[in-house]
Amino acid sequence: MTKARQLADLISSGSIETAEITSLDAAKLTGNIADARIPNLATSKINSGTFADARISASSVTQHANNYTHPNHSGEVTSTADGATVITDNIVDEANLKVSNTPTNGYVLSAQSGNTGGLTWAEAGSGGFTRVGGGSAVGQNLGTLSFDNFSSTYNLYYVQYRINFKLDGSQLLMRVRNSSGFKTNAGYAYATEGSNVNGTHSSSTTGNGTSSVRLSGGTTSNDGHHSCVGHIMFYKPASSSHVTSFTLSNQETDESYIITSRHGGGEHQVAEVHVGFGFTGNTQNIEQYDVQIYGLNES
């Protein structure tokens, strides 16, 4: 059969079978093959090269594009499929917070930019006052009792105290402290005025150039009473350019259980930084105490 006859037979049949083309050089195809001419092309027949985007229908791509579904997250942080990841309502607790210190019941969370996490547990202020120190104890035998809680953080410090001596007859004395300890030089000036329950106005005490401030007369050591109870307000104790001024109120019970109340004030007349204050007895040691110190928030 001639080649012309073979070609005629192929054309008359309306199709060219795969078996009729054993090897066809791509260079021999100078035109386009219509889509209908390739009804089904096995992937094994695609060995190299690329298909232009236009040769692949959109439906062929999208029918498999969404076969993967992101799993839902559960627990403290949740999500649905590929949606937003969110923190569950009412789930963040103390353990989830990055805070610089260990919590204490009754404390509040405060911003402290220099601390770990920028957060710190701090005691809540009450009525403008923040507790900065103090303490209490019984069964002691202390020659002196001191508290170093003053700093430039506050201009005003309020001290509430109760003192009991080990034996009768001692007066309660107060001194301020610098970084080296108690100021025992002759730098105190003060005046107090008071009266006792019998109406006697003979309880005035004064000092100018003394080594301490006398808060009381002789007192009882009976633990069922208070040798002394009172308060002191210090003004700018930590300022190097300002003398430390104070006002005070003290109630004492003497050996005969007569109550005397004194009120007044004074100052330490040397302008220097004071870091704290303390108490001592002129003849007896301290057996019990309860002292609480607060800084006044001015804003």
Would the pTM count as exceeding 0.75? no
Fold designation for 129-296: Jelly Rolls (2.60.120)
- Taking residues 108-130, report their average pLDDT: 79
Query: Which pLDDT does position 217 carry in this prediction?
Result: 92
Domain residue ranges of the chain, discontinuous segments joined by +: 94-123, 129-296
The larger pLDDT score, comparing residue 147 to residue 6, is at: 147
The token pair that represents 95 in the structure block: 């353990």
Residue 62 pLDDT: 59
- 3-state DSSP of the chain: CCHHHHHHHHHHHCCCCHHHCCCCCHHHCCCCCCHHHCCCCCHHHCCCCCCCHHHCCHHHHHHHHCCCCCCCECCCEEECCCCCCEECCCCCCHHHCCCCCCCCCCEEEEECCCCHHHEEEEECCECCEEEEEEEEECCCCECEEEECCCCCCCCEEEEEEEEEECCCCCCEEEEEEECCEECCCCCEEEEEEEEECCCCCCCCEEEEEECCEECCCCCCCCCCCCCEEEEEEEECCCCCCCCEEEEEEEEEECCCCCEEEEEEEEEECCCCCCCEEEEEECCCCEEEEEEEEEEECCC
Could you read off the pLDDT of 199-243 as tens digits, one per residue?
888 677 899 999 999 999 999 999 888 899 999 999 999 999 999
Measured in degrees and rounded to the nearest 5, phi and psi for residue 96 equal: -85, -10
